[in-house]
Copies of this chain bind each other. A is one copy, B any other.
Amino acid sequence: MLTYEDFTSGRSFPLGPRTITAEEIIDFAEKYDPQPFHLEPESDQAKTVGGLIASGWHTCAITMRMMCDAYLLDSASQGSGGLDEVRWHRPVRPGDTLTGEAVVLDRRISSKRPTLGLVTFQYSLQNQNGDTVITIKGMGMLDVSNPASQEV
- Residues of chain A whose beta carbon lies under 8 Å from any beta carbon of chain B: 28, 31-35, 37, 49, 55-57, 60-62, 64-65, 68, 72-73, 77, 79-88
- In the complex, the answer to whether A73 meets B35 with C-beta atoms within 8 Å is yes
- Oligomeric state, in copies: 2
With a CB–CB cut-off of 8 A, which chain B residues contact A49? 79
With a CB–CB cut-off of 8 A, which chain B residues contact A33? 61, 64-65, 68
A33-B61, A64-B57 as given contacts; A82 in contact with B88, CB under 8 Å = yes
- What's the minimum C-beta distance from A142 to chain B, rounded to whole angstroms? 12
- In the complex, the answer to whether A79 meets B37 with C-beta atoms within 8 Å is yes
- In the complex, the answer to whether B61 meets A32 with C-beta atoms within 8 Å is yes
With a CB–CB cut-off of 8 A, which chain B residues contact A83? 83, 86
Closest B residue by C-beta to A66: B32
With a CB–CB cut-off of 8 A, which chain B residues contact A85? 82, 84
Q: Which of B60, B73, B86 contacts A34 (CB 8 A)?
A: B73
With a CB–CB cut-off of 8 A, which chain B residues contact A84? 84-86
- What's the minimum C-beta distance from A73 to chain B, rounded to whole angstroms? 7
